[in-house]
Chain A
Amino acid sequence: MLPCTGRIDEAILLKAFEKGADGVMVIGCLEGDCHYVNGNIRARARVERVYRILEQIDIGPERIRMYNLSAGEGSKFAAFTSEFVEQVVKLGPSPINLARQREAQVS
């Protein structure tokens, strides 16, 4: 939990992949409804940049996504999460995790 998605930078998002995440969801306030004016808009731009980086380094851009929700949208949150998890499950473990598994097997 963070005060605002505007606190997230690209390094943290990439770090999550490095530390074993197969997918990363960023969830911010609804656009135009940011508690801190425009933090979610900035976060969106950063997520887009990470998207392009993931594409370039062959981890797969579909593994990151930003969603916008209000605090009252529990069922929507569940639907988004299920949808994203399904997408990541379809993609399988991230190449970083696969490499690590191979390494573990070798040793």
Chain B
Amino acid sequence: MTVNPMTEMTATGAVMVVGGGISGMQSALDLANSGFKVYLVEHAPAIGGKMAQLDKTFPTNDCSMCIVSPKLVEVGRHRNIELLTHSDLTALEGEAGNFTARITQHARYVNIDKCTGCGLCELACPVTQISWFHEQTGEDGKKKKLKAKNKRLIRGPSTPQPTTLAKWTFRVDEEKCSRCGMCHRACLHGAVNWQKKEIASIDQDRCTGCGACYTVCPEKFQAITISDAPELDKNLGVAVRERSNEIIKRLGTPNQGVSTDCIRCGLCVLMCTKVMGIGALQMVEDGIEAGLDICQVCGACQSVCPVTYLNVSELTDKTPRPLLNTFNEGLNLRKPINIFYPQAVPRVPVIDEASCVKLNTGECGTCQAVCGTGAIDYTHTVSEKEIKVGSLIFSPGIEVFDASIRGEFGYGIYKNVVTSIEFERLLSASGPTSGSVMRPGDSKHPRKIAWIQCVGSRDNSCGRDYCSSVCCMYATKEAYIAREHDSSIEPTIFYIDMRSFGKNFDSYITRARENNIRFVRAMVSRIFEDPQTGDLELRYVDGSGTRCSETFEMVVLSVGIQVADRTRRLAETIGIDLDSYGFAVTDGFTPMAASRPGVYVSGAFNGPKDIPETVCEASGAAQAASVALAPVRNTMLAAAPVVHERIEEPGDPLRIGVFVCHCGSNIASVVDVETVADYARTLPNVVFADHPLYTCSQDSVERIKELINEHNLNRVVVSACSPSTHEPLFMSTLQQAGINKYFFDMANIRDQCSWVHQLEPEAATQKAKRLMRMAVTNVSQAKPLSELEFDVEPTLLVIGGGVAGMTAAVEAAGQGFNVYLVEQQPRLGGQLVNLQRSWDGQDFAPFLQGLIDRVEDNERIRVLTSSVVVDQTGFIGSFESEVMTPTGGSRKVKHGATLIATGAEEYRPDLYGLGELDNVMSQTDFERLLVEDPDRAASIGSVVMLQCAGSRCAEHLNYCSRICCNQAVKNSIGLKKINPAARIDVLYRDMRCYGLTELDYRKARKSGVNFIRFDPDIEAPAIDAGSAAISVSLTDPSIRMKVKLSPDLLVLSTGIVPRDTEELATMLRVPRNSNGFFIEAHAKLRPVDLASEGIFMAGTAHGPKNVTETIAQAQAAVGRAATILANAKLKLSGVFSTVNAEHCAVCLTCVRACPYGVPVINEEHTAYINPALCQGCGICVAECPAKTITLGRYLDENLNAKLEAYQAAAYADESGGA
């Protein structure tokens, strides 16, 4: 890619990423870590996308949230990433290098800078429904009182039993009383004394505290006062919620359906009349009288009722519209003020304009009253801003197919028919059922569950002809996980073809079969519900042609993925081309470049794909989007503040500061934080202790810095929430105050005390003290750790000169890095030399020649052919490798990162005379014949193609080679073009034409190619290949008859095998799987990284893939390498293992124990652990028999100190002290 000299002068060193799913996040992180400012724009209130909604991920069953949340936190905290959530791109002007993007930020009504994400507002908000708001302002501009015409008495099983639990005191203000007697008439307990024309008074002995008097006292007098009501200083809404919670607590466990009698607490009436300003409810002798026509159906009364007396649907003449939680796919309710999901970044709620009472009528305001940081601002409006960027990455993601379009499955009508994404939420521990598999219809635990595949995929009838690529795997995963939750579940998956084409996917399916998951090859034609039981009868035709009917308790529809209408409109705004399904149009050789220059696309919007391929494209898009901006790298970044660290003198006294967080009332409502802070002050060396309302709020963090200086603190302990989310924040606070950031410890008294011991406040406080004491003792033992800085060599070593290696070399050179490209063969080209055309019909030869020219002409690239890398030393950022050159000599090269692109080749099994007979050939041979010898091709009357000839079997390759189905389809169409009369029979097991290649499969079938399925476990095709004639016989399941074929040609789809890399892998100490493909650092989120930092891979060395996927991966690998090479210096983590050489017995235990092969025996004959390579797990520390290895931060001293403190605190408790 050449850089226009004009844009080079003026380009903007910033990139906008639109869409904050896993794709957008990965692009943003890679760009931000390679010197570019990133604006990440997300329509939703928080980033995370679809992946955050998933429970587990295939094929490793990793917990999706566990692996994505560190990314969320990293994006949220990255200095170079500006998050624009709840925002939309509305225009993109200018050109590549110099775009101006217009962003609309929707009103959030919550100030992101002030909010700490404590969630109190959401708990306090009483609204649960979408209301019908009344026009209450009269013509005179004054508020009209609503009068009910249609009333209904709500009775319980027996008459109300008035309660005085947590009673408030009501009094008459004599000066304000107008002597009207309304209160007297309203009181059902005769507690209000009143005589005509006299001031009323309340008999406190008879008053039950229901507040009827208060609600009827006319607005203009307000003569009734309330006292003894906790939280009333905030507002009445908060006080009502507080009393409701208190009553629930005192009544014992609020078991739904146990207490259905009205307790006449009066909270519903107070809420409706005084908080919502409606007055639709009134307490009467027999219960509650509801004004059906004036009820605004907000649900507030029901949500504050401490018993289960009220039900909003009985209180109105309208049908309530529950406010559904979209993150949980509408399976449970949310509040108008809502944090998108528990781990959301930013963890800041948004107020929904459609349902918030305050924003619509001006009443309520409970959330603002309860917020301790003053973050809620009802005056927010939409704002617009213009941002200048050099390029744009569009990764909007996808939505799922609307299953109600396939009416025969009854989705939306039968309650126990759910979509796969809904099922994903049902499986999730943080989902609506806390991970318990329940039918939505009746909360029953289903035993027999059916999955129906291809709902909205491979379906011409509803305009979704493409394959969604992920459903076969996710359905299997859901079935697998469902059985993990409840082993009595019997899953059945109804499918057409099992498209488990990815790396390790087939073995996952095998494991699923072994785990009693039943696979039935059939398309379900209809579902009928038994209205009595809610069970579902499925009708289908099985493999033998028999019509079957089977009953299941629950059905999951494996809905396909599609591009949302909003995304199509956005694409139009951006000005990029889409195909008829809405997917981005890109070229097979530049897979992430959209039709408008400077705009790049990635993720499932760029064709259906799973998470690893999405992550791969995301890194690739980051690379593609930044290559033209390389000259303006590092021009838009905010400089990190440099603070000099105070150096501790030996003998300096310890001065520990302790901060015990209230977290609003999250912690303080259970744990007595003041007592904990008092206790802290009694501990040795603690010179300061405080209990901030929110320790993590911006002002508190600033205050901590001041306090550190004021009190000359040199150690800090925070007793608050989870270190996994908040430790980095506090550690950087210490750093900014000039203290070593490892002089810090955190006690989690929220998750471990207030949340789990809610009903035992004293025990929770005791435990909080112990945990805090352990942290204080631990921090007393802390050692200052330093993070070493070292220079980075901005050079990439690429091993392998095929399409992956060459693409990577050109891109890396474009990024401004030097490249050594080492190829074992005398010439560049790799496997592509043997191939003719790409899946989208482009010729490889000119592309390949162009690529070779660009490599050879690039002065930054040094090509070493007929050469081999024989040794590598060093670590990330600073490697040195030895390359054997054709002369037999060797040369040493320095580089900061390594890329393995060693590729693969066609498998040539000894099958059916392949290689010996002229009429038996591989797909690659056949492809060459079609191009090079069209005359012979035209003379071929009939061809049989045998799929999986050597793949997916124990004797040959036990994996799926992924590309062969598409190759067969491509070559079939190719032959049909030359000779339309040719008969082609493709014998297959599953046609794995994933994604948009399904369209070609369809095209091939339409052009008359005959596809015959076989199952080698039942009957493999009998093939007799002789030099004279070939005969093939097998059973065609579609006609259920034996067929005999005598083709002119037998074409074998043989699959692909990796090149021999055993020596290379051993030398680089990177693992390969049993098939010889390199193993990625993480199957989902680090698809091109190897476990050893600084080493990457691309192309078929990773696993079988086509050229487009290979190019994407090569670009991704360069994108990842750029996060290292673009830095002048790198910093190592301070937490690594160190060997004390004095006691090392050179027993090699650490060498053997380390899972990363880091420890070595050095020249001084002791074990040595390179800090740059150490991952910091501590396994060697525990294994070392001489106890001579230590891990910073986790020393024996630290652990023993914690245990000592535990014991001391326990004894203090027992002896009554503390």
Contact = CB atoms under 8 A, between A and B. Distances in A.
B63 interface: yes
A72 to B, nearest CB: 4
A90 interface: no
Contact of B1203 (A16, A42, A74): A16
Contacts of B1183: 9, 42
Contacts of A71: 63, 65-66
Nearest to B435: A75
A36 B1155 contact: yes
Interface string B1049-1083: 00000000000000000000000000000000000
Given A8-B1182, A72-B429, A36 B63 contact: no
A84 to B, nearest CB: 15
Contacts of A92: none
B1207 interface: yes
Contacts of A75: 429, 434-435
A19 B1207 contact: yes
Contacts of A2: 1178, 1194
A19 B1207 CA distance: 5
Contacts of A18: 1203
Contact of A33 (B62, B428, B1200): B62
B1196 A7 contact: no
Contact of B428 (A3, A21, A72): A72
Interface residues of A, number: 31
B430 A1 contact: no
B1135 interface: yes
Contact of A72 (B65, B1199, B1200): B65
Contacts of A106: none
B362 to A, nearest CB: 40
A2 B1196 CA distance: 12
A73 B1204 CA distance: 30
Contacts of B1210: 20
A36 B1183 CA distance: 15
Nearest to B1184: A9
A39 interface: yes
A37 B61 CA distance: 15
A1 B723 contact: yes
Contacts, number: 87
Contact of B1182 (A9, A15, A16): A9
A39 B428 CA distance: 26
Interface residues of B, number: 37
B1155 A38 contact: yes
Contact of A73 (B429, B723, B1194): B429
A18 B1177 CA distance: 26
A19 B429 CA distance: 35
B1205 to A, nearest CB: 9
B1176 interface: yes
A17 B683 CA distance: 24
A2 B1200 CA distance: 13
Please report whether the interface of chain A is mostly helix, strand, loop or mixed according to DSSP: loop
A73 B63 CA distance: 9
A7 B1178 contact: yes
A15 B1205 CA distance: 12
A84 B999 CA distance: 57
A21 B62 CA distance: 33
A70 B1177 contact: no
A4 interface: yes
B1181 A7 contact: yes
Contacts of B1199: 12, 15
Nearest to B723: A1
Nearest to A10: B1182
A78 interface: yes
Contacts of A70: 63, 66
A23 interface: no
A4 B1203 contact: no
A63 interface: no
Nearest to B1176: A3
B60 interface: yes
A46 interface: yes
A4 B1176 CA distance: 9
B178 interface: no
Nearest to A71: B66
Nearest to B722: A1
A39 B1155 contact: yes
- Nearest 6 pairs between A and B by C-beta? A7-B1178, A37-B1155, A36-B1177, A6-B1179, A9-B1182, A72-B63
Given A20-B1206, A70-B66, A72-B428, 13 more contacts: A2-B1194, A3-B1176, A7-B1177, A7-B1178, A12-B1200, A12-B1203, A33-B60, A37-B1156, A71-B65, A72-B63, A72-B65, A73-B429, A78-B756
30 contacts: A3-B1177, A3-B1191, A4-B1177, A6-B1178, A6-B1179, A7-B1179, A7-B1181, A8-B1182, A9-B1182, A12-B1199, A12-B1203, A15-B1199, A18-B1203, A21-B1203, A21-B1206, A36-B1155, A36-B1179, A37-B1155, A37-B1156, A39-B1177, A42-B1153, A46-B1182, A70-B63, A70-B66, A72-B55, A72-B435, A75-B429, A75-B434, A75-B435, A78-B756
Interface of B: 55, 60-63, 65-66, 428-430, 434-435, 723, 756, 1135, 1153, 1155-1156, 1175-1179, 1181-1183, 1191, 1194, 1196, 1199-1200, 1203-1204, 1206-1207, 1210-1211
